[in-house]
Structure 1
């Protein structure tokens, strides 16, 4: 069947978390300046990146920041959580070529969907700050729908909302299990954005993969031709 719909992950696929971290570290340093002992921005950014775990750690990462950073006056863990949830979405950086990608896909008539794990307020704030919400015909956030990747049900909900069959869609994401594995379980062709999460050494890499969004567009042209 011809490809009718393209589904995307958000973080580390359309949003560049690596480019965002220096901006977040700068805000963190400014907002907690009175509470932190002296350290460089590079040291702070490294600590934040290491405790973040690529976006796949929960409350524990904030406890680790409390234990790792040189505090003069240690804040409550809730203050760090609130700062992350409020400030990180304000400083997110798009992947290079994001708007070229979305505009070209819209011109070509593809139905577009977004499936992202995370809290509703934080993920919605990212979409609004980047101004990309209206590109998508359906947006599913795990906290809002009650399922999260790699559960195939969240992928099937997206297909139903778009009015397409699994064979008519492809899914683009960076995480081997949540994105590639979840899409495969739902019967959707996965396309792996490599370079963030390593592929498991005991498994064969996906047939379809890319690094930059420009590469994805080139891949798509060949795939549908």
Structure 2
């Protein structure tokens, strides 16, 4: 019987792509005097390419943008600092996030969060989304010294709740870091569909977060 439901953050609860686009548009406007020779479309497209779905930290992204577009008058450190402090203001949850979490809590499931990333940056995003109080455990790779798909990171959450792997389910969007990572830790897994991974197939998949409670009842 499932007792614990664990979640990924980016691409699962947080619509990171939509959030990033909003942030890029805003940053471009605020730093426009340095970017005036680049169109917003060109800048945004290249930023997203270099970002590689969040797997490239933004120091490298901004260094590359400055070099490629010959940006003068602003340092990559300034743009990175702006990203670190302001991205949180553009965080957009996926639809039905809170309805889904409320339903799970009503059914007495215990909830947790496991995410890769920088500790303070990810916690800022969690707080802005209003999720901090809903998860008694939030594991962030930088703080833990482990990152997904290492099964030991998942096991830390299981140990916190004192449950067996088969008593927990993990929901995430990345085939390797989330799906295979949790599966190798012995857990049930639900894949949050992402069209980027069009060739990936999982036994349990969702398009909408509200599908999660119904699927969990099948385990």
TM-score, normalization by structure 2: 0.92
Q: State the distance in 1 between where 2:78 and 2:10 align.
A: 23
Alpha-carbon distance in structure 1 between the residues aligned to 2:197 and 2:68: 26
How far apart are residue 62 of structure 1 and its match?
2.3
Q: Which residue of 1 aligns with 2:204?
A: 208
Q: Which residue of 1 aligns with 2:7?
A: 8
Q: Which residue of 1 aligns with 2:65?
A: 65
Taking the TM superposition and a 5 Å limit, the aligned residue runs for 1:123-138 are 123-138=122-137
Q: Deviations over 1:14-65 (max 9, x none)?
A: 0001221232022211331221124443333222211110111124322222
CA contact (8 A) 1:21 1:45 kept: no
Instruction: Map 1:29-40 onto structure 2 (within 5 A).
Output: 29-40=28-39
CA–CA distance in structure 2, aligned partners of residues 11 and 70 of structure 1: 31
Residue in 1 that maps onto 2:98? 99
Q: Is the 8 A contact 2:2 2:216 kept in 1?
A: no
Deviation of 1:217 after TM superposition, in Å, equals: 3.5
Give the distance between the partners of 2:211 and 2:116, measured in 1 at CA: 25
Distance in structure 2 (CA, Å) of the matches to 1:138 and 1:23: 29
What's the CA shift for 1:148?
A: 0.8
Once residues 97 and 38 of structure 1 are traced to their aligned partners in structure 2, the CA distance between those partners, rounded to angstroms, is 40
* RMSD (Å), alpha carbons: 1.8
| Other structure's SS at 1:23 match | helix
Deviation at 1:89, TM superposition (A): 1.8
Q: Does 1:195 align with 2:194?
A: yes
Matched pairs, number: 218
Distance in 1, Cα, partners of 2:64 & 2:195? 22
Q: Could you say what secondary structure the match of 2:34 adopts?
A: coil
Q: Which residue of 1 aligns with 2:145?
A: 146
Please give the alpha-carbon distance, in whole angstroms, between the structure 2 residues aligned to 1:67 and 1:218: 50
CA contact (8 A) 1:118 1:142 kept: yes
Deviation of 1:196 after TM superposition, in Å, equals 5.0
Q: Distance in 2 between matches of 1:109 and 1:220?
A: 13
How high is the TM-score relative to the length of structure 1?
A: 0.89
Q: Deviations over 1:131-159 (max 9, x none)?
A: 11111121101111111111111100000
